[in-house]
Structure 1
Amino acid sequence: MKLVQRENGFSIVVNDKEIIEHSIENPCIYVGKGKGTYDMFRGNFKVKDYICEKIGLNDFEISVENSRVIVTFSNKGLNAIKVLFIEEDGRTVVKFLENPDNFNRFWLRLKAEKEEHIYGCGEQFSDFDLRGKNYPLWTSEQGVGRNKNTYTTFMAESMDQAGGDYYTTFFPEPTFISTRKYYCHINNSAYMDFDFSHENFHELQIWDMPEEIIFETGETYLDLVGKLTALLGRQPELPEWVYKGVWLGIQGGTEVALKKLENVVEKGVKVSGIWAQDWEGIRMTSFGKRLMWNWVWDKKLYPGLQEEIKKLRERGIRVLGYINPYVAIEGSLFKEASEKGYLAKNKEGKDYLVEFGEFYAGVVDFTIPRACVWYKEVIKKEMIEFGLSGWMADFGEYLPTDVVLNNGVSAEIMHNAWPAMWAQINREAIEEAGKLDDVTFFMRAGGTGSQKYSTMMWAGDQNVDWSLDDGLASVIPAALSLGMTGCGLHHSDIGGYTTLFEMKRTKELFIRWAEMAAFTPVMRTHEGNRPEANWQFDSDDETIYHFAKMSMVYTNLAPYTKELVKENSNKGIPVQRPLFMHYENDERSYSIKYEYLYGRDILVAPVYEPGKTKWNVYLPEDKWVHLWTGKEYSGGDIEVSVPLGQPAVFYRKESEHVELFKKIGEVKHMGF
């Protein structure tokens, strides 16, 4: 880090990259005061801010002590803010030391270049390159449709405030990577808004005094994500059993689950798990089938499940369940938590009840150490000891801003921190049980800290349709952006989840989604919120045969996938990667968001439109081989045939895994 002084200003330069530029005419820091309002309905937030003042801190005084640079910013001698610039562990760290006027709005401007690209900010579904827009960072429901110009989003917004927008996400994070080869991370959980729409600067707005802002550079993008994950943490490798086949999302009880399992196994589907999210019971609402939210085995719905788990394990098939950080008021766990004082309170000191769609639940207060111990014991006893090998650790983004927490910190600040705290509960329960190499969980909500606690992310509740913002295509930039934020293990509900306003999952959509899922770390189905309205993996034999083929592709690819997962665990390099991560000189690759590299050697271009028999693909300059035909390409724009069961997938001719890829390309199935 270098401080370069000029007559009317200064710059902070990190490894020859000018990151911060300040002058009297164009200050890098603004401060102010504001009052935010948060209108929440079932996890969907309308956030507004009333800004009382915004002051540019033009004036500055610099003092240098060894490698410590302290700058006192002010405006005409008033409103002074003292900021420390320092190197720590090879990183440039900005620390705000003094805020005597108690400002609660801060704007930091970073130097930008016109041709610069920006990636990250957590999980972004509509965009991969974030340049040109602003991105509010607040964990919430991702929204239905997420495009204000569509009928679906209009209806969802009108009925339940649930339409969402291009930036709404379960997993926001104040972290991004620039093509200037640096990352920026803000260590704070307040509401933020990162604005990348200006030509000469990026403006980062924070609704709190930042604890610290961290910058680090890298020679390559592989180097850069490695350094970022060294800071934020890395995910562990997945248990060995995961790679043996798909996870079948099945609901309805023991008999239904076993019958569906045997039907598809007989037809060649490779199965490693049954994911029975209703293991603890169901409730029916106008939205569709929901769960009971009392994390105890429902013996009536799943009679004999404990014994069946043992039998299935002997066959190499595991059973997975579901849990979230709330307890429904009808259940025994709510009563126990309430009596012990483990639930968050309202302003009157009573248990805070959150409405989740025609039922209510209490919020387990993770700022109470004893409550954390209690909830981990629930997971260890009712799930791990019971025999479950994994689960969906759902929600985490609903924490209301008017809830009163035991630690006394405002829920406005704790809201974005909550998903990572929820991840920590799950991770520690597994580690305390000594099962990290055998039990896993997957989450949709996240934030800073999820990298080191969450064992796997999933993309949340996509629509069962072809929409770019909320359908099959949207999970591709979601995976890529999370990878650039430090979470390199990602997957999605095959076929999507949300069925509303007459939309229905079609046979073609399910098959195309399964094709893509074969080239992700985990293949998992979901019945959706209205199973009877949607095409399922066993709706007809042809679907089962297609599904069987893709499950074979997935299992045959396991040696390669395991290497990628290990690389993510050791180096922080994501499994699904943007093209430019390995082709930095290819300018075109920086704007591609609907293709990805699966590791170094496979390129996947999922078919995300209906009725397609041909598909246009861009290949960076290299020697590529079409997986299904063996035809060779050298790069550029090409068109390939994409019959069902043969997605647009290519491998590098010079890969050390060529023989494995050839065998995968030859995968057939008796149903074809």
Structure 2
Amino acid sequence: MQERGLEQGPEQGFTCHLAGREVLCSTPQRPAFSLASGQPDVRMVRGNFEIGDSPTGRVALAAARMEGDDLLLSEAPGAAPLLRLSARGDSLQVTALNPGHDRVWIELTAQPGEHIWGGGEQMSYLDLSGRRFPIWTSEPGVGRDKSTELTRLMDEQGMAGGDYWWTNYPQPTFLSSRLYACHLDSSAYSVLDFTDPARHGIEVWEGSFSLEFFAADDIAALVGALSTRFGRQPALPDWAIGGAIVGLKEGDASFARLDAIIAAGAEVSALWCEDWIGIRQTTFGRRLFWDWSWNEARYPGLPARIAALKERGIRFLGYVNPYLANDGVQYQEALAGGHLALRQDSDEPYLVDFGEFDCGVVDFTNPASLDWFAERVIGREMLDFGLSGWMADFGEYLPVDLRLHDGSDPMLLHNRWPVLWAEANARAIASRGKTGEAVFFMRAGFSGVQAYCPLLWAGDQSVDFTRHDGINTVLTAALSAGLVGNAYSHSDVGGYTSLHGNVRTPDLIKRWCELGAFSPVMRSHEGNRPDDNLQIDSSDDLLASFAAMSRVHAALAPYVRHLSDEAVATGLPVQRPLFLHYFEEALFAVQDQYLYGADMLVAPVVEADAAARTVILPGDTPWRHLWSGEDFAPGTHIVDAPYGQPPVFYLPSSDFAPLFATLKA
């Protein structure tokens, strides 16, 4: 990072350059920094947030002077300095000199036609240009589109409708088509604002933080640099990619259903029973009993069942989250051990409403509490019990009005909470020597979760094709998260959220099976209301579709192994935007198809009742249609898409072309 153009006098200003790129320019006419004192107003209802602010005394910092190697910014020449800028390598440390200033606004240089990506796991838009993205981990909302009736109804019920920027996994990191990236190293509430074509805005609710910059000669190298910064996931184990993970939650009856699914020809690598700890029926649907140990009444003889499955090459997976129901045994143990976060006004545990039941918050700022959960719950009750993996759910619900063990401000810990939750899971697995063998998957995240979480899942999509909350958001989630260091993503085959009469159709299930087949992990889910919805085994037709696509998924395992090894070596994600290998502006906003590694292109059907779709084939060499073997020239084509044959293409020159050819219809 270089500061240049600093002049003393009334017209002083400065610029910052990174590898020849101007990334910041501040002039008296348009200062790049301003600050104020804020007063946050935060309301949470079951993981959904309303966040407001009443900043006072906002000051634009129009003057700058050098002090040693640092820049001191003030309102006017000769005025007392209010902000210090310290360049350290390719990072810029920003420090407010008045402790009362806890709001900082920064404007970075933008250029006409510049495109922006990143922001963590974004569901609605891959290209962030022209929009504003608050960075705060939360429930993503149901509907996420203020023009729809479903979103309106959910907003009436606990602010739960959401909007395009709501996400379980935000991250204040963006990549530019100018081949640089910027990361805000702060866990505070922040906003990335790309609505001004001349400036990229960053709003930070903290007075001390740093901006980290990265530059590269191509976009793939830039993605690799970010993966190095945040931490790379281990290679996925063979069992996780070698067949479908079947999600069932019907207690002991799940095993007979699994046998029928296998008898229908499905390639199955694992059985996932999230209800292994028991259930709790609520108006939302069939919920789980949040006490993390085997429920013998619902799954009698489970240890023997797990052992028998393992002899057949089938793993058993469960479920856990970082909260404890106050009517459970482990809650009382945590309470006695001092492992729960407390109320601000008393030494009583803080209870969070999760929808008709209340839970305590395991306080991960207490090292002893994190160790207790990792060892006592995940280690002993899950890994030692025989589980090979689990959904590590939630992480977004940390309230901002509780008291934490280390005295941290919950406003600063809220975004960090999913990272601490991931660390607890990773620590438990490492303690048993099973890193890279046992797999947990998370929906919540923030900067740094990459170093702990081996697999993302895209959260709780509605069981439909809607623009902002349906099957298509799974693609956007994988592509955006992959750009900031998350190599592996997958989704609930069939979707999850079914409310207000919104239920699965056969069309949706078949298309989601196809998408799952061309994801690194293929895992089905029965959803929040299993009895109201079609399942993969509800009919012979649906079961045949699932079985066929599970066989495709299993057949691709050698290629996915190659992609997983490549992710470890380079940091490149398995599912990639087209522009990662074909850096053309026309491809910068394409989010409904992806490259599966460098050799395969997948264009899932994400519209209802579609028998064909438009596909863009990039580059300057032909692509071969997976199912027919026909070669297609680069360009845009309308491609037939009967069930079981989504538009998928590969490069004939690929080392894996013989493998791909075995899938020809």
TM-score, length of structure 1 as denominator length: 0.96
Asked if 1 retains the 8 angstrom alpha-carbon contact of 2:72 and 2:81, the reply is no
The reply to whether residue 323 of structure 1 matches residue 320 of structure 2 is: yes
Shift, 1:450, TM fit: 0.6
Counterpart secondary structure, 1:253: coil
CA–CA separation in structure 2 for the residues paired with 1:97 and 1:460: 36
Say yes or no: does 1:179 pair with 2:181.
no
Instruction: Report the Cα offset of residue 79 of structure 1.
Output: 4.8
Matches within 5 A, 1:159-558: 159-254=157-252, 256-347=253-344, 348-377=346-375, 378-558=377-557
**Distance across 1 between alignment mates of 2:66 and 2:580:** 39
- The corresponding residue for 2:86 is 84
Q: What's the secondary structure of 1:664's corresponding residue?
A: coil
Once the two structures are overlaid, the 10-residue window that deviates more, 46-55 or 72-81, is: 72-81
Could you tell me how far apart the structure 2 residues matched to 1:240 and 1:480 are?
23
Which segment drifts farther, 629-638 or 515-524?
629-638
Q: 1:637 — aligned with what?
A: 636
CA distance in structure 1 between the partners assigned to 2:238 and 2:281 by the alignment: 36
**Over residues 180-210 of structure 1, what are the superposed CA-to-partner deviations in whole Å (9 max), with x where a residue is unaligned?**
1011111110000110010111010000024
Give the conservation status (yes or no) of the 8 Å contact 2:95–2:207: no
Of the structure 1 ranges 552-561 and 564-573, higher mean CA displacement relative to structure 2 is found in: 564-573
Instruction: Output the amino acid matched with 1:120.
Output: G
Give the letter aligned to residue 45 of structure 1: F
Structure 2 residue matching 1:127: 3-state secondary structure: coil
Shift of 1:100: 2.7
Q: Percent identity?
A: 43
Q: Is the 8 A contact 1:623 1:654 kept in 2?
A: no
Note the C-alpha offset of 1:436: 1.2
SS for the counterpart of 2:277 is coil
**Cα drift, residue 78 of structure 1:** 3.0
Q: Does 1:17 align with 2:21?
A: yes
CA–CA separation in structure 2 for the residues paired with 1:80 and 1:192: 20
3-state DSSP of counterpart to 1:85: strand
Distance 2:240 2:70 in 1: 51
The one-character-per-residue Cα deviations of 1:214-239 (angstroms, maximum 9, x if unpaired) are 00101111100111111111111112
1:97: how far off?
A: 4.2
For residues 513-565 of structure 1, the C-alpha deviation after alignment (integer angstroms, 9 at most, x for no partner) is: 11011111100011001001111110111111111111111111001111111
C-alpha displacement at 1:664, in angstroms? Answer: 2.0
In structure 1, list runs of 5 or more residues that go unmatched: 667-672
AA aligned opposite 2:582: Y
Q: Give the drift of 1:63.
A: 4.2
- Does the CA-based 8 Å contact 2:74-2:82 persist in structure 1? yes
Partner deviation per Cα, 1:588-631 (whole Å, 9 max, x = no partner): 11121111101001111111111111211111133101111111
Query: Which residue number corresponds to residue 670 of structure 1?
Result: none
Mapped partners of 2:99, 2:310: distance in 1? 62
Shift of 1:507: 1.0
CA distance in 1, matches of 2:565, 2:52: 43
Alignment correspondent of 1:33: 37
Deviations 1:291-346 (A, max 9, x none): 00100100010001101101100101000000000000111100000011110001
Provide the C-alpha distance between the structure 2 equivalents of 1:168 and 1:223, rounded to a whole number of angstroms.
Answer: 29
Q: Is the 8 A contact 1:187 1:210 kept in 2?
A: no
Partner Cα separation in structure 2 for residue 63 and residue 563 of structure 1: 52
Aligned residues of 1:235 and 1:569 also touching (Cα < 8 A): yes
Match of 1:116 among 105, 114, 117: 114
Q: Tell whether the 8 Å contact from 2:96 to 2:208 is kept in structure 1 after alignment.
A: no
- Give the partner amino acid of 1:122: G
User: Secondary structure of 1:665's match?
Assistant: coil
CA shift, 1:211, in A, is 2.4
Question: Partners of 1:483 and 1:665 in 2: how far apart?
Answer: 29
Deviation at 1:3, TM superposition (A): 2.2
Q: Residues 27-106 of structure 1: matches in 2 within 5 Å?
A: 27-63=31-67, 69-76=69-76, 77-87=79-89, 92-97=90-95, 99-106=97-104
Q: Is residue 4 from structure 1 mapped to residue 7 from structure 2 by the alignment?
A: no
Task: Report how far residue 17 of structure 1 moved.
Answer: 0.5
Pairwise CA distance, 1:374? 0.7
Point out where structure 2 has 5 or more consecutive residues left out of the alignment.
Answer: none
Give 2:622's aligned residue. 623
Deviation sequence 1:380-421 (CA, Å, 0-9, x none): 100000000000000000000101101111111100000000
1:625-671 deviations in whole A, cap 9, x for unaligned?
Answer: 111111111211101111100001111122121111111234xxxxx
Q: Matched residues in 2 for 1:298 and 1:280: separation?
A: 5
Asked if the contact 2:105–2:203 (Cα under 8 Å) also holds between the matched residues in 1, the reply is yes
Question: Which amino acid is 1:412 matched to?
Answer: M
Aligned residues: 656
Secondary structure at 2:66 match in 1: strand
Equivalents in 2 of 1:555, 1:440: separation in Å?
A: 18
Distance in 2 between residues matched to 1:659 and 1:468, nearest whole Å: 37
What is the Cα deviation at residue 2 of structure 1? Answer: 2.5
Instruction: State the 4+ residue runs in structure 1 displaced beyond 6 angstroms.
Output: none
Aligned residue for 1:279, secondary structure, equals helix
The CA RMSD measured in Å over matched residues stands at: 1.1
Give the whole-Å Cα distance in 1 for the aligned partners of 2:543 and 2:456: 26
Distance 1:531 1:201 in 2: 48
2-structure distance, mates of 1:56, 1:403: 34
Identify which range, 78-87 or 503-512, moves more after superposition.
78-87
- Counterpart of 2:576, as a letter, is R
Contact 1:34 1:53 in 2 (8 A): no
Q: TM-score scaled to structure 2, two decimals?
A: 0.97
- Secondary structure class of the residue paired with 1:82: strand
The answer to whether the 8 Å contact 1:86/1:93 transfers is yes
Separation (CA, whole Å) in 2 of partners of 1:226 and 1:210: 27
Distance 2:438 2:618 in 1: 38
Match of 1:669 in 2: none
Equivalent in the alignment of 2:591: 593
